[in-house]
Each structure stands twice: as structure tokens, then as C-alpha cells.
Structure 1
Amino acid sequence: MKFAFFGSSLVSAYWNGAATYYRGLIRHLHERGHQVTFYEPDAYGRQQHRDMEDPDWARVVVYAATTDATHAALDDAAGADVIVKTSGVGVLDRTLEEGVLSLKRPDNVVIFWDVDAPATLDSVHAEQLNPFRRLIPRFDLICTYGGGAPVVDAYRALGARHCEPVYNALDPHTHYPVPRQDAFAADLGFLGNRLPDRESRVERFFLAAAEALPEKRFLLGGSGWEDKRMPPNVRYAGHVYTRDHNAFNATPRAVLNISRDSMARYGFSPATRVFEAAGAAACLITDAWEGIELFLEPGNEVLVAGGGDEVASHLATLDEQRARSIGAAALRRVLSEHTYAHRARQLEALLVGREVATLALAAMV
């Protein structure tokens, strides 16, 4: 099949946390024989902060952030079998959503792929006149990268024909164990950009733990934290390029995952960082959210904390042997159940099922 994806960026992870999700899924669709074109706007300095060249497993089309260029990209995608508009492109999103729906034919599938479903649903519920609300029933399929039953039920209540989570996962090509690097030495590391619905949870889970354990070393990576007040035992690493994620995860005694407010509220939303850390055999401490046991077993494959005091408690008693044991168990689990090869097969089965259903319906007419 020919896929056309409209997303924030495939080639740059700069202010673009979904990049590794797109890369993992699309690379494995290519390995299964599909052709993928990824359309992304030249915006937010992402092209100036690329962390990869155009890959050989996808055609990348970078278009100017203008209405005319957006429509030209839509015209270029018109012949695809599967046309995907992701959430949060950041430039002319509504134009793209209406544009991909205008490309609907009897023999293709048009998908809205929500990489931040909790935030999208919160926005739609808060604004009765939100223009996206009327578009939801027109998509053949809504895919999300998290949210479980709460998100599926919410989309169905808004008229979605079908909604299915295709969760984050591990791409073993890009995230794997590596030797430790002194540049990322710490007792606990956290990697995440500064966002309004994440900052208070970073204060509660990460910075509070640092204050409680002044003898421990804490490492903060991600964009936007330059002027944030931090305890003296917190070192700020700035933006960490994807090429350094493995070392960032593998070097500290443990790494921390902190969900954004909306994701924690809906649950069943493992961040990309969860699988990246597990792929590097890191000992992961995560904030508590419903559904974690579907992905990693608490106590054996991941440590779960309800707040900064519990993060500090885990860290105070975590020795090297236990940290390595937890990281190794997490790596085994994600390789067996949660890689992008698994997700690509899931998407194929979903699309083939739709095709079979369409043919059966046509035969009945």
C-alpha cells in the first residue's frame, strides 16, 4: 500500500516528541513492503535542528508553511491508498484536516492519527464550537498512540466510526543498550521538553526528589528549562539530540518518566520515553498511571511512584545490581511484546479488516 502521512516532522525531534514514534512505525511499514511519503512543514526551526538525513525507508516532502504550499502537498498525496493527518502538525492543521478528507475515495482510507488524544479531547469537550468536532465522524478511522478504553469511548461518543490505540513502542534500530558516558552521569535522569501541562509534575516528581536527596546527582534534559529555578544538585543538559538518547538513558542509575497532566488523567498512555528507556535497558521509574501493567510489570520491570517522595524513596534504596536487573527485565519485555514491528502488523490487520468489510458490504448491495 501507499501511505501519505502529514505530520510535524520525521527528520527532526526538535520540539517534536512524536518523531521517534513516526520513525519507528514508518520504518517498519517500509520493511513490510509499504511505500510511505511523509509531508512536513518547514516550521519552528525543525529543519535547522535536524537529527537525521532523509531516510531510505520513506520519501520526505518538506513544504513551506503557507496555504498554497499546503494545498500543493495535499495534491501530491491524492493518489495514496492510506492518507493520514496527525494531530499537532502546528501549521494550518484545520486546512490539512479538511484537505485530507477532501481526498476521500471509495477505494482509499483517510485516518486522523492523534498523537496527543487526551489534549485533543479536552479541547473538544471544552469548546462546543471547536471546528474539529464536526470532522471526527468523517474520518474512516481514528488512531491514537495511547489512551486505552477512556480515549476510545470518548471518540466514539463524538461520532468516530472506529477508534483504535496504536501504542508507542520500541524501535530496536535506534534505541538499544550502549556504554555509559560521563557526560550523562547521574543518579537520576529526566528527559522532556518544558510544557505547560508537564511543568508542575516535573516540580512534584523530579525537583522535589532532588531537594529531598541533596547527596544524589540529578540530570535534566530537554528544551525550555534554561530559566527554571532548580536545586544545586540538578544539572541541566539542554536539548538532547536523538543520537544521544541511548547514552542519556543507559548512564544514570535510573531514569524518570513523567506523564503530562492529561495523559496521567486518561491513563493507558505510555510515553515514547518509556520504551526508549526500556530499549536501552535502563532502570525506569515512572509516575503512577492506570494501565502501566499492560506494558511493564511494576516492581520487576519498572518502579512506580505516586510523587516525589516515592521517587526519592526508590532512589535512596536502589543499588546497582537491582537497577541492572530491572532494566534487563524491561528490555526483554518490550522486545517480546512492544516493538514497532508489532505495531505495524497491528495497523496492517486493522486496514485489511476494513478492506474485507468493505468488499463484503459491496457484495451485499
Structure 2
Amino acid sequence: MRIVIFGLTISSSWANGHATLWRGLCKHLVHAGHSVTFFERDVPYYAGARDLFEIPGGRLVLYGSWDEVRSIARSSIAECDAAIVTSYCADALAATDLILSQDRATPVFYDLDTPITLARLQAGEPVPYIGPAGLQDFALVLSFTGGQRLFDEFRRKLGARDIRPLYGHVDADVHRPVAAKPHYLADLSYLGTYSEDRQSAVEELFVAPARLRQDLRFLIGGAQYPPDFPWSSNIYFVRHLPPSEHAPFFASARLTLNVTRRAMADMGWCPSGRLFEAAACGAPLLSDRWAGLEDFFEPGEEILLASQSSDTLAALEFNPEQLATIARRARERTLDQHSSSKRALELVELLEQATSRSLCQIETQGV
């Protein structure tokens, strides 16, 4: 297939979860023989932390304004089979209008921020990447999260016709077991951009245990942490890590913590890419609880769960053999079910189905 994507970013992994996911998908789409073109507005904050400059085998179009790229986008859409617009794409509305006006490519919307989208809708706030017509004109709507509530809400409030989950995933070529690095050594690590809506969980599951166990070393990696974050003397910090450093980061801790953003946890069926990355690197996983988690990992066997600081402290008492067994099982599950290569196959199948349905509708209308 020839696929065109209008997204937030693929060129910079700084302070967003989109880039790493798209890199894995595009890589394996290209490996499978598909054509990929990714349009990204060249904004200063991503340009200043750019860690990818081209899509091997594909095409990355960085542009300063929609006016300067409109004609290129029009030509790309005219030659493609499916055109995808994502949440938080800087020019999502303009790209949507262009795709629909040409009536050529199968129009697809991929929401990688579904709980945030629904929270804004419920609060009566505008969603900057969805126009007045909602999602009714898209042949296929993909969501980073699942669950019946999502499907009902997207149909009722946005008019979506066909909604399918396309969950997070991990590129096992990038995220794999590697040797530990001394500056990442920790008893418990946490990798994530600072977010106010998960701060209470971070304080309960990470900060509080650190204060209670001053004999242990705790490590945070991420971006945008404020000066008033409640650090303690045994919590260490590594500023933004590029994907190439994720594997040694995870490999250097006895246990790594996953904390889900509140809107996503409330929605359920919301595995973050970080969860699969850590598992693929062979790191023992400790996660907050949310509905649907057992569909991705088996609690107690492939992942440990925590609701309060005492759960974190209990997990830190597991012996190395127990943690190694949990990590091995999670890695096997991840490589089998949650790899980027598998998600790329799922995406192509969903796009082919949507394209086939669109062609059938055109033929029916013609008759």
C-alpha cells in the first residue's frame, strides 16, 4: 500500500509518545514493501531535540507552514491508497479537508490521545485536531486505547462509523536486553515525561517509597520536570533520553515503574508504549492498575501491580530470580503480541479492509 501520514512528530521523541511508535510502524511497513510518507510541521521545540532526520526507505516531509506544503500534500494524497491524520497534528483540519476534497485515498483518523480527546469533549472544550463534522467522514477511526466506552462515545459524540483499536507496541530491534550502564543503576526506575495528571500516582508509587527506603537508589528519566518536584536525596534524575538510551536505562534497574496518565487509566485498555519497551528490554515491570491491563500482561506472572506505596515496597523485596522470571515472561509475551512488526501487519489489514469497504460503497452507489 501507499500510505501518507499527517502527524504530530516522528522526528523528535522529546516530550511525546508519538514519535517512537511511528518509527516502529513506518520501519516495519517499509520492510513489508509498503510506501510511507510522513508530513510533520517543523516546530522549534521538536527541531531543537530532533533525533531522527529521515525515514529509511520512506519519506519525511518537514514544513514550516501549511501554505508551503499544500501542493506537495495534494500530490501525495492523489497517489496514495490511505491517508492518515493523527491527534495533535498541527494541521489536522487542513489535512482532513484536503484528503476529503480529493476523494481518492481512504481517509483514516488515528487518535493516539483518545482519553484526552474524550475528556475535552465531555468538558465541552474544542478538540483542535477534529473539525465540526467530527469523525463521520473517515472510513476508519483508529484508537490507541480500547474498551466499549470509547467506541460508544466516539460514535455518539463524533459520528465515527468504524472504530478499531491499534494499541501501542515496541520495535524489538531498538528495545532489547543490553548491558547495564553505571549511571543508570537503580533499584527502581521510572521513565516518563512529567505530567500533572499522573503526579499523584508518581508520588505515591515512587516518591513515597524512596523516602521510606533511603538505602535504595531511585532513578527518573524524562523531560519537563518542574523545580518544585518533591525530590529526595536518593532520587536521581536523567534529563530527556533518546530512544537509543531506553534499553540501557531499563536494563540498569532491578525493577521499573509504569504510571498511566489519569485520563487513560480511567478509560482503561490503555497500554503505553513505555510498558512494552521496558518488557522488550527484559526489565521486570511494576505498574499502576487500570481496567483491561490483564488483556496485555498477566498480573503476578508477567507484571506486578501497585495501588499504594506499600505495594512498591513489597515488589522491591522480590528476589532476583523471581524478578527475572517475571521479566522473561513479559518479554516473551511482548515479542509475540506487542511488537511493531505485528502492529504494522494489523494496520495494513485494517487499511485494506477499510479500502475494500469504500470501494464496495462506491460501486453500490454507481449501480
TM normalised by structure 2 equals 0.92
Name the SS for the 1:136 alignment partner: coil
1:104 offset after TM fit, Å?
A: 3.2
- Asked if the contact 1:147/1:263 (under 8 Å) is kept, the reply is no
Q: Are the structure 2 counterparts of residues 348 and 293 from structure 1 closer, same or farther at C-alpha, using a change threshold of 3 Å?
A: same
* 1:138 correspondence with 2:137: yes
Structure 1 residue 73, shift from structure 2 partner = 4.9
Q: Does the CA-based 8 Å contact 2:189-2:250 persist in structure 1? A: yes
Match of 2:124 among 102, 122, 127: 127
Provide the residue aligned with 1:300 in structure 2.
301
**Which is worse superposed, 334-343 or 284-293?**
334-343
**Structure-1 residue corresponding to 2:273:** 272
Cα distance in 2, alignment partners of residues 134 and 205 from structure 1:
42
SS in 1 for 2:348: helix
SS at match of 2:45: coil
Q: Deviations over 1:260-317 (max 9, x none)?
A: 01000001000000100011010010100111111111111110111233122211x1
Pair 321,109 (structure 1): closer, same or farther in 2 beyond 3 Å: same
SS at match of 1:160: coil
The 8 Å contact of residues 209 and 311 in structure 1, kept in 2 or not, is answered as yes
CA distance in 2, matches of 1:201, 1:238: 20
Residue 35 of structure 1 aligns with which residue? 35
1:289 match? 290
2: CA distance, partners of 1:358 / 1:61: 28
1:1-365 matches, cutoff 5 A: 1-64=1-64, 66-69=65-68, 71-79=70-78, 80-89=80-89, 91-105=90-104, 108-127=105-124, 132=131, 134-158=133-157, 159-227=159-227, 228-315=229-316, 317-364=317-364, 365=367
- Distance in 1 (alpha carbons) for counterparts of 2:6 and 2:354: 21
Question: Matched residues in 1 for 2:208 and 2:259: separation?
Answer: 13
CA 1:8 to 1:357, structure 2 compared with 1: closer, same or farther past 3 Å? closer
What amino acid maps onto 1:62 in structure 2?
A: L
Moved more, 170-179 or 93-102: 93-102
**Aligned mates of 2:122, 2:94 — CA distance in 1:** 21
The answer to whether the 8 Å contact 1:208/1:309 transfers is no
Secondary structure of the 1:75 match is helix
Shift of 1:148: 2.8
Equivalenced residues, count = 360
Worse-matched range after superposition: 224-233 or 185-194 = 224-233
What is the alpha-carbon distance in structure 1 between the residues aligned to residue 84 and residue 256 of structure 2? 33
Name the structure, 1 or 2, with higher relative contact order (CA <8 Å, separation 6+). Answer: 2
State the Cα deviation string for residues 198-237 of structure 1 (Å, max 9, x = none).
2232222221221232221110110011512312110011
The amino acid that maps onto 1:74 is A
The amino acid across from 1:231 in the alignment is S
Measured after TM superposition, the shift of residue 14 of structure 1 is 1.1
The 1:240/1:226 distance shift into structure 2, 3 A limit, reads: farther
Residues 247 and 278, structure 2, Cα contact 8 Å, conserved in 1:
yes
Structure 2 unaligned spans of 5+: none
- CA distance in 2: counterparts of 1:290 and 1:193, whole angstroms: 23
Q: Residues 20 and 164 (structure 1 numbering): CA distance in 2 closer, same or farther, change over 3 Å?
A: same
The answer on whether the counterparts of 1:278 and 1:327 sit within 8 Å (CA) in structure 2 is yes
* Identity level (%): 32
Query: For the structure 1 residues 48 and 128, does the alpha-carbon distance in structure 2 shift closer, same or farther, using more than 3 Å as the test?
Result: closer
Checking the alignment, whether the CA contact within 8 Å between 2:24 and 2:340 is kept in structure 1 is yes
| Equivalent position amino acid for 1:245 in 2 | H
Distance change (3 Å), C-alpha of 1:307 and 1:57? farther
Task: Judge conservation of contact 2:145–2:271 (CA < 8 Å) in 1.
Answer: yes
In structure 1, distance between residues paired with 2:71 and 2:309:
49
Deviation at 1:359, TM superposition (A): 4.2
Instruction: Return the offset for 1:93.
Output: 3.8
Q: Secondary structure at the match of 2:107?
A: strand
Over 3 Å counting, the alpha-carbon distance change for 1:360 and 1:55 in structure 2 is: closer
Q: For 1:285, what is the secondary structure of its paired residue?
A: strand
The alignment yields a C-alpha RMSD, in angstroms, of 1.9
State whether residues 147 and 268 of structure 1, in contact with CA within 8 Å, keep that contact through their aligned partners in structure 2. Answer: yes
Q: Deviations over 1:161-216 (max 9, x none)?
A: 11111111121121111011111000000011112322232222221221232221
SS at match of 1:45: helix
User: 3-state DSSP class of the match of 1:135?
Assistant: coil
Q: Distance in 2 between matches of 1:284 and 1:12?
A: 26
Task: Select between 351-360 and 164-173 the one with higher mean Cα deviation.
Answer: 351-360
Write the distance in 1 (CA, Å) between the matches of 2:120 and 2:83. 24
Distance (Å, rounded) in 2 between the aligned partners of 1:237 and 1:226: 13
CA shift, 1:318, in A, is 1.8
Normalised to the residue count of structure 1, the TM-score between the two structures is 0.93
For residues 90-115 of structure 1, what are the alpha-carbon distances to aligned partners after superposition, in whole Å with 9 as ceiling and x for unaligned? x344333434333433xx21111101
Deviation at 1:129, TM superposition (A): 6.2
